[in-house]
Amino acid sequence: MIEKIRKVYTAPFYLSMNFDNPDPEQLRRIASLGRDAELQEILWMLETSEWRSRRMGAWFSLVRPEPEVGTAVLASLRTADGYLTAPDLAVVAVRLLGTEALPAIIDYQERAAVVGHGRLGRTSVLIELLGGMEVRDRPTENDRDFIAKMISVAELIEAS
């Protein structure tokens, strides 16, 4: 299963996710693969320590209605290892669960501040969008723009 995940779900996508100029065909493939994946494959991607698979697991989760997927996205976000996965997981958590994602984003920020992950502005944008009162790092306009682009990509995947 692990080799299949790396070959089919991770390698073709993790470096080519483009938020400035998303490829509609690629996003349709992500949606299709996400729907066709076994639930255990999605859950493994969200639970692994491999950042590439974890990142892609977030995007595949957008098209999975199972409650276990939402729970796994929140758990993955709480234990994310920094800016390579946290913004993706946070955007997907917000798309799947709305305000229920807020505690997990705050938990991530608290843990990230302790271990020195930095770059918390992007997840701060989502805290603000959800009505959270305090953020660890004030988001910049660049952070806001990046998250807006990620949300647009999420919407395109969901609509595919």
- The per-residue pLDDT for range 95-105, each reduced to its tens digit, is 999 999 999 99
Q: What is the pLDDT of residue 88?
A: 97
Q: What is the pLDDT of residue 117?
A: 81
Predicted TM-score (pTM) above 0.85:
yes
Residue 28 banded pLDDT, cuts 50, 70, 90: very high
State how many domains the chain has.
1
pLDDT for 6: 96
- The amino acid present at 26, given as its one-letter code, is Q
The tens digit of pLDDT for each residue in 64-94 reads: 999 999 999 999 999 998 989 999 999 999 9
Q: What is the DSSP string of the chain?
A: -HHHIIIIIITTTTTT--SSS--HHHHHHHHHHHHHS-HHHHHHHHH-S-HHHHHHHHHHHTT---HHHHHHHHHHHHT--STTTHHHHHHHHHHHHGGGGHHHHHHHHHHHHHHT----HHHHHHHHHTT-S--SSPPPHHHHHHHHHHHHHHHHHHH-
pLDDT at 118 over 90: no
DSSP assignment letter at 101: G
Show the domain range for 73: 2-159
Quick one: what percent of the chain has pLDDT higher than 70? 100
Give me the percent of the chain exceeding a pLDDT of 90: 87
Strand residues in the chain grouped as ranges (E): none
